[in-house]
Structure 1
Amino acid sequence: MAQEQWKISEDTTLTWLNGGVTHMDGGAMFGVVPRPLWSKKYPANDANQIELRTDPILIQVDGKNILLEAGIGNGRLNEKQLRNYGVTEEASLEVGLKELGLTLADIDDVLMTHMHFDHASGLTTEVDGERKPAFPNATIWVQEIEWEEMRNPNIRSKNTYFKENWDAIAHQVKTFNSEHEIVPGVKQLHTGGHSAGHSIIHITRGERDIWHFADIMPTHAHQNVLWVLAYDDYPMDSIEKKQQFVAPAIQNEDWIMFYHDYKYRALRFSQDGKEIIDSLLKE
């Protein structure tokens, strides 16, 4: 897969890496929205599944290599999980990093919007049958509520918070409460909604405002504030945070970037949200 690079300022570059491809049920991804409506905006296969990439974004800024999300990893899911989650490709982050002259050991920080399996499975790897950190020199930043639930999931969340994704990296994790600025102009903000500890990313470098809304707006088709996921633990919180953050970003014609979208890496909507006026496409 070709890598998309986006130089957003003189000292800041974004690069999408290949974190793997899943296919999830379209009905679950669009909640109560009927298929005749959402399928006009996002294609589905014959099994009613939609393609969802899991591509981490490398943020190179101020001499640091910061990874946003971790992908599904390689060899992290069993055969049943690969089948149930519609995985057609696993991650190859090492290949993408090598093209940039980097290795997994060169990652300084990993920003996790939340710890569901399709974001966090790439945090660990298997070496001679033993789990090890995939990014051995990185600090992993997670919202504190999210980290607590990751380690102590409830009857619902245990289906996505796996011990195998945290036990080997616990010593690398640092938590934050409401917000955390990793470097000037790159900030994590707690929203809740999709999960209790879900967070989003706001980048203000150069002349651009760029948002990564993670899973309260996983694809370009989730632009409508009412279009939230059946997977959301707190859907009304998702709607509230979309009203607070997504709607103004669209009105301001800010850039919105994606981890999951099958087609767009980043885009800008017109102020009324009816048109895409600029975009970076997945090659």
Structure 2
Amino acid sequence: MRIIPLKEGNFLVSKTKEFSVLEDNDESEGIRMAVQPFLVMTNDENILLDAGVGWLENGHLKLFDNLKEAHVSPESISKVLLSHLHKDHINGLVIDDENGLRLAFPQSKIYIQRREYEYALTKTDSPSFDFVRLNFLINYADIVWMDANEGAITPEINYVVTGGHTPFHQVFRIQSEGKIIFYGADNLPQSRYFDMHVAYKTDYDGKKAMQWRIQWEAQAKAEHWQILLYHDLSEPVIQF
């Protein structure tokens, strides 16, 4: 099993959720974060964990460039597992260029927690969502709707709806070849979240997210997890 971070870049995010490339020594106001989906390659398939902000570099989808560098074709991605539906996690699934909108991975199954989508529909005034791309995705992609609080997608892939960052945010655990990969998405976006037991106000339920992190840290140490960090500026994967 291989893990390949597909980093789109380090970004400065404004209060209105506009993303710009984070330059060295930039002192502008905003949140500093990486955006990095993950490719997990098992013996049987290529799995994408979240899909990035859809960043274009020299007119090309950065996500595609990253896959090409890893010698992986977009057509070989069998599953895309979405933790939640904020635009920096889903926009890479829909290309928006001079040719209009089209699916980046039309052959892939896209796994979405149904209740998270229903929640998103109540937040049409929120800049965290891109409803043009989200609606296109829902209308044209091969969606697998997830309704349970936890379960198995395959014998190797399990999910749990945790809430926290959003009401129905979900996390994924992949166990294969004697390894355990854990993806906590925006409930565990950076390694420093382990250092400070803080309930962040930017989360829908920061206390719940904090409690999950305490539990995950104990499990990670006991079971030697590899943890994938979607927003960490310098450390995409940590090993316990």
SS, match of residue 192 in structure 2: helix
Secondary structure in structure 2 of the residue aligned to 1:183? coil
Partner of 1:167 in structure 2? Answer: 135
Query: After superposition, where does 1:78-89 map in structure 2 within 5 Å?
Result: none
SS of 1:169 mapped into structure 2: helix
The root-mean-square deviation of aligned C-alpha atoms, in Å, is 2.8
**Normalising by the residue count of structure 2, what TM-score does the alignment of the two structures yield?**
0.82
Q: Give the letter aligned to residue 46 of structure 2.
A: N
Please, which moves more after superposition, 214-223 or 164-173? Answer: 164-173
Unaligned runs of 5+ in 1: 1-11, 26-43, 76-89, 270-283
Question: TM-score of the superposition, structure 1-length normalised?
Answer: 0.71
Within the candidate set 50, 73, 94, 1:69 is matched to 50
Q: Which amino acid aligns with 1:168?
A: F
* Equivalent residues of 2:36, 2:52 under 8 A apart: yes
1:93 matches 2:63: yes
Correspondence for 1:130: 100
- Residue 230 (structure 1) aligns with: 201
Pair 142,209 (structure 1): closer, same or farther in 2 beyond 3 Å: same
2-structure distance, mates of 1:239, 1:146: 20
Trace 1:58-207 onto structure 2 (pairs within 5 A): 58-74=39-55, 92-150=62-120, 152-154=121-123, 158-170=126-138, 171-176=141-146, 177-207=148-178
Identity of aligned residues (%): 24
Q: Distance in 2 between matches of 1:120 and 1:46?
A: 28
Amino acid of the structure 2 residue aligned with 1:222: Y
In 2, the alpha carbon distance for the partners of 1:92 and 1:53 equals: 13
Q: Following the alignment from structure 2 to structure 1, what is the Cα–Cα distance between the partners of residues 36 and 235? A: 12
Which of the numbers 51, 56, 72 marks the counterpart of 2:32?
51
Residue 217 of structure 2 aligns to a residue whose secondary structure is helix
Q: By how many angstroms is 1:47 displaced?
A: 3.2
